[in-house]
């Protein structure tokens, strides 16, 4: 195999051999060589936000006279190409790298400098021009906030809204079906299917509310704090000008952090968002498991519903069909819960003026958002398309001894318990046993034991 052709780049540590056609420079190459822990790279959502941050910084630097218009415009145009995803393959640094994300910041600076130089015919320097008025220590925390906010606003919240509305719509078609309720996985008082599904919708709606409550804190950005929060090497007004430029580019309302020292030293808002995502994962797993249980059988399980059959379920058992999409959603939820543990541990790694686990926070947070949006989209057709097995619901309901609870005020708890136990032991309907043992008339018993009347 022919030896790879290289060129020589220089940084403050000396010369480095870089692949001849690579857009990056010396510092990126050192990071590629140093960090070879995994195949994980920053996702598109992060690179988009990083490009937007760099373009907005160039705009602010031009406005405040830090950079001349030709250089600033060239930097902004190149950064917008990064944001648009034109050069994603130029971001080759492992997620597991320097804890500040300096390697990825310099990756962006070098790529943008190369693109800007080639397009404008000027010499654009990665540090002096692209990184002007910035530090990795404020760029990466800012990018985390921007990427997470845009991902939540543009992908996750719409998916949640659609799922919540889809469940509400389906619930509206299920009011005629009354089923045995279950607590502790044991028979309980009856509920209507629209009540059960409506509870799922409420879980999704509340999850969206919790996420929206976190967004204002994501809008507060560390940019302008530079190295330690003091803003060294950034001109007066940079944070404000930067946020205005970024807000115009994204349509969001970004503001400077109320305390740049805190914005660099901690990642509490990222931890908060991760916690909200974990709460959503809990809801998604609960809904998916309810669907799995209701679909179980169909002969030896509950068999209350039949989920849409989308693929064969077994390599050895012909005709078997499994609840594969709810299972996949459960795995997504488990992954998100694990990601939340990682983000929480990483959030504790803010020693003095800087958190040093920024890359892994970014990766896990954005992975969770993307996975959960996809999980919502997967659940929607499952809930819209399941078939109700009405005969199974009625058959179980008629033999449910817990219906005797409705007689408590008429005959007392102890007598009701005796009727329930006898009905269960003899495999008879509660109504038949109650006619013999309760002392109440058949008309009154039918009124009290009507399952639909007991659903509220």
Among all residues, which ones are annotated catalytic? 184, 314
Which pair of structure tokens corresponds to residue 213? 């409550």
Q: Where are the beta strands (DSSP E) in 94-197?
A: 178-183, 186-192
Dist CA 231 CA 351 (whole Å): 19
Helix 358-385 to helix 136-151 angle (10° resolution) is: 0
Dist CA 219 CA 145 (whole Å): 7
Three-class DSSP category at 452: helix
Residue with the two structure tokens 């069909």: 321
Which pair of structure tokens corresponds to residue 430? 């509660």
Residue with the two structure tokens 């399980």: 301
Which pair of structure tokens corresponds to residue 322? 């499994």
Nearest residue to 280 via CA among 342, 382, 335, 206: 206
Torsion of CA 340, 249, 116, 232, to 10 degrees: -70
Which pair of structure tokens corresponds to residue 71? 């250089």
Contact 455, 195 (CB under 8 A): yes
Taking the CA of residue 241 as centre, how many other CA atoms within 13 Å lie in the half-sphere pointing to its CB?
Answer: 18
End-to-end CA distance of the chain: 76
Helix 268-295 to helix 358-385 angle (10° resolution) is: 30
């Amino acid at each position: 195999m022919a030896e790879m052709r290289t060129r020589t780049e220089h940084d403050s540590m000396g010369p480095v051999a870089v692949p001849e056609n690579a857009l990056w420079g010396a510092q990126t190459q050192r990071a590629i060589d140093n960090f070879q822990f995994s195949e994980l790279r920053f996702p598109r959502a992060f690179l988009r936000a990083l490009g937007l941050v760099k373009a907005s910084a160039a705009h602010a630097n031009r406005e405040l006279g830090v950079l001349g218009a030709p250089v600033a415009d060239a930097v902004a145009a190149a950064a917008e190409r990064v944001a648009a995803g034109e050069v994603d393959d130029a971001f080759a640094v492992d997620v597991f790298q320097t804890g500040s994300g300096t390697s990825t910041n310099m990756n962006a600076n070098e790529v943008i400098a190369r693109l800007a130089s080639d397009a404008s015919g000027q010499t654009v320097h990665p540090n002096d021009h692209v990184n002007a008025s910035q530090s990795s220590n404020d760029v990466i925390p800012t990018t985390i906030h921007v990427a997470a906010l845009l991902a939540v606003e543009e992908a996750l919240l719409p998916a949640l809204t659609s799922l919540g509305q889809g469940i509400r719509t389906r619930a509206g078609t299920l009011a005629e079906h009354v089923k045995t309720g279950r607590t502790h996985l044991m028979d309980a008082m009856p509920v209507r299917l629209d009540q059960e599904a409506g509870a799922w919708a409420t879980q999704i709606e509340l999850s969206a509310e919790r996420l929206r409550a976190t967004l204002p804190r994501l809008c507060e950005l560390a940019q302008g704090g530079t190295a330690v929060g003091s803003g060294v090497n950034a001109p007066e007004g940079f944070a404000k000008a930067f946020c205005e430029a970024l807000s115009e580019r994204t349509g969001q309302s970004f503001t400077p952090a109320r305390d740049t020292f805190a914005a660099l030293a901690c990642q509490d808002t990222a931890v908060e968002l991760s916690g909200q995502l974990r709460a959503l994962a809990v809801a998604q797993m609960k809904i998916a498991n309810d669907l799995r249980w209701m679909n179980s059988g169909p002969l030896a399980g509950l068999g209350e519903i039949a989920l849409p059959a989308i693929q064969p379920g077994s390599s050895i058992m012909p005709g078997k069909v499994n609840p594969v999409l709810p299972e996949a959603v459960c795995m997504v939820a488990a992954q998100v819960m694990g990601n939340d543990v990682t983000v929480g541990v990483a959030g504790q790694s803010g020693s003095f003026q800087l958190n040093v686990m920024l890359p892994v926070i970014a990766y896990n947070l954005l992975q969770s958002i993307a996975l959960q949006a996809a999980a919502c989209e997967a659940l929607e057709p499952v809930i819209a398309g399941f078939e109700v097995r009405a005969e199974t619901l009625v058959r179980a309901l008629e033999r449910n001894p817990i219906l005797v609870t409705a007689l408590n005020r008429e005959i007392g708890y102890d007598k009701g318990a005796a009727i329930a136990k006898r009905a269960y032991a003899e495999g008879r309907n509660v109504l038949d046993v109650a006619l013999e043992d309760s002392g109440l008339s058949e008309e009154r018993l039918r009124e009290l034991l009507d399952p639909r009347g007991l659903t509220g």
